[in-house]
Amino acid sequence: MRRSATALPVPEPAAGPRSDWQTLARLLPYLWAWRWRVGLALLFLFGAKAANVGVPVLLKHLVDALDLKPGDARAVLVVPAGLVLAYAGLRLTTSVFTELRELVFAKVSFGASKQIALQVFGHLHSLSLRFHLERQTGGLTRDIERGTRALQSLVSYSLYTILPTLVEVVLVLAVLGAKFDLGYVWITLAALVAYIAFTVSVTEWRTRFRREMNEFDSRANSRAIDALLNYETVKYFNNEAFEAKRYDEGLEAFRMAQIKSQTTLSLLNTGQQLIIAASLVAMLWRATQGVVDGRMTLGDLVMVNAFLIQLYMPLNFLGVLYREIKQSLTDLDKVFGLLEREREVADAPGAPELAVRQGVLRFEDVHFAYDANRPILHGVSFEIPAGQTVAVVGASGAGKSTLARLLYRFYDVSGGRITIDGQDIRQVTQGSLRRAIGIVPQDTVLFNDTVGYNIAYGRPGAGRDAVEAAARAAHIHDFIAATPKGYDTVVGERGLKLSGGEKQRVAIARTLLKNPPILIFDEATSALDSANERAIQAELKSAAQGKTALVIAHRLSTVVDAHNIVVLDGGRVVESGSHTELLAYGGKYAEMWRLQQAGDQA
């Protein structure tokens, strides 16, 4: 039954921006896996801060103890023994606990960061071809890089600075409230509340400037990488100045955003310093007055001053830390957004493995549209019997390459079905489906690695003998052997060091090495000259023996030996039959044949 083509859903990230608390909740499972280390690190943190708060208390007692008369014998004992040993002991204890905390927690932060990075990498590969056609590589890689780094920054700032500061504030307030009047506690609390309120409000206001700065940074980086990836195209059209201008526009927008961000940061820092200075004056004035009135000793003044210094140092950076934590949460949110992006093509729950018995491939009333307004396939139906080769020909835009994408499940059909030995490919796992298919694409893109690596990619773990055998079958071994480094020759970014024909023969070699039961040749010899084309055609014909092969071709001379030829026109099957039958029929195929023969003779 025919069904009208419908638009495939385009997956979107989670609706609406995620709050900071939601991002933290999303992060917790990664840290929960290391909960025992987290707990131990927190114990070391409390120990370090307890020792650190004990230092000013010790100084108070030592200063008071030094109120001795000249010549008192106790001075010789108190100064060298008490001051040096006790002070050094507390300082050493603080450092030891701090280092133990970082040592214990290092495995947590690095492990969680690795887990997230690996999960994002795997999820990106599971997303549909539509996502990868629409993405911008430069911006995406920058977002992933910032996101994985943000985890370590977030943990570092929160566990190593924010949480210790809060613990220290609580301990200091407890000591001040216990030893002196509550005025010191209220002054400290008022300063903290004013400081935090000012920092949070200003930082929230300036977050948009930081976000704009990151967006412009990603955009400029995307333009630069895109231009470098298309280096040859830039050279072909003499557009170096044009690309430099586009990059300059991106950098200028980034620079202006940086200036705005820095200006607002200066405003933030100035306000923070005013609040801290006011609190210092109030605390020291009160403590000095207490000493003058006889209510406090010099040791008490020293202790209050030491407490203020210890609190002042981390508070001085609280604005920067809050901003960095907010930015880390924003960066993490982008990564989690990628992880939550739904797969357009996903395995059905409990999907079994594909079982290839004979390899019969059927397209049954297949409808498909990349966009609802532009249907591509309209009820395409044909069969490739086991062990036979069927060619699909037609003009550009007829939907030939779309058949290969649907067979690989880069997209799912919007009507009808595709089966292998009667199994709907949507009902089996994608992994087992793609293991059963090998393809030689028209546009071959290679990894920036060696020739040997790119051929062996067809069957990871294959030995050098198998790689060389595949290269010989693809008529590229002699070329590789003639290079100075042989199979260790690096092919360059996207294989640009090789010619189009050499890249295509590498693609043929790695598909031959994979040796799957179903083969797809998508204009597999389009980049070869006539002599090599005939040689490769013979090898492809030999490789297809006993296998189910789908040949997508524009040049009809490459498919004359196919068991059956399917002619597509406007996304519909208009003819099918052998080369001889179609010529005798005198339809679309015969017309295409005459035009191509006339072109070859011209």
Rounded Cα distance, 445 and 386, in Å = 30
C-alpha 497/C-alpha 475 separation (Å) is 18
Q: How far is CA 246 from CA 266, 560, 564, in A?
A: 31, 49, 50
Q: Cα(555)–Cα(593) distance, rounded to whole angstroms?
A: 9
Mean pLDDT of 331-349: 75
Q: Which amino acid is at 289?
A: Q
- Tell me how far apart the alpha carbons of residues 364 and 370 are, in angstroms, rounded to a whole number: 19
Q: Which of the listed CATH numbers 1.20.1560.10, 3.40.1260.10, 3.40.50.970, 3.30.1490.190 matches domain 20-339?
A: 1.20.1560.10
Q: Which of the four pLDDT bands, split at 50, 70 and 90, describes residue 12?
A: very low
Confidence (pLDDT) at 361:
92
Residues of the chain with CATH 1.20.1560.10: 20-339
- The full DSSP string for 441-461 is -SS----SSBHHHHHHTTSTT
Which of 234-238, 393-397, 533-537 has the lowest average pLDDT? 533-537
Q: Are 560 and 579 in contact (CB under 8 A)?
A: yes
- Cα 98 to Cα 40: distance, rounded to the nearest angstrom: 12
Q: How far apart are CA 475 and CA 512, in angstroms?
A: 12
pLDDT for res 98: 73
Entry pTM: 0.59
CATH class entry, domain 347-436+516-602: alpha beta
Tens of pLDDT, residue by residue over 470-487, are 888 888 888 889 988 988
Dihedral sign from CA coordinates of 185, 189, 195, 196: positive
Q: CATH homologous superfamily for 446-514? A: P-loop containing nucleotide triphosphate hydrolases (3.40.50.300)
The predicted-structure confidence for 556-584, as pLDDT tens digits, reads as follows 888 888 889 999 988 889 999 998 999 98
The Cα–Cα gap between 31 and 111 comes to: 9
- Confidence at residue 531, expressed as pLDDT on a 0 to 100 scale: 65
- CATH 3.40.50.300 occupies which residues in the chain? 347-436+516-602, 446-514
Taking the C-alpha atoms of residue 318 and residue 273, their distance in angstroms, rounded to an integer, is 11
Cα separation values, 343 from 13, 133, 373, 460, 564, Å: 11, 14, 23, 26, 36
Mean pLDDT of 273-296: 81
Q: What is the pLDDT of residues 356-385, one digit of tens each?
A: 888 899 999 999 988 777 888 888 999 999
Contact between residue 458 and residue 470 where contact means Cβ atoms under 8 Å apart:
yes
Question: Which two three-digit tokens encode residue 541?
Answer: 């014909």
Q: What CA–CA distances, in Å, run from 569 to 99, 370, 577?
A: 71, 17, 15
Task: Compute the C-alpha angle 344/407/391, nearest 5°.
Answer: 150
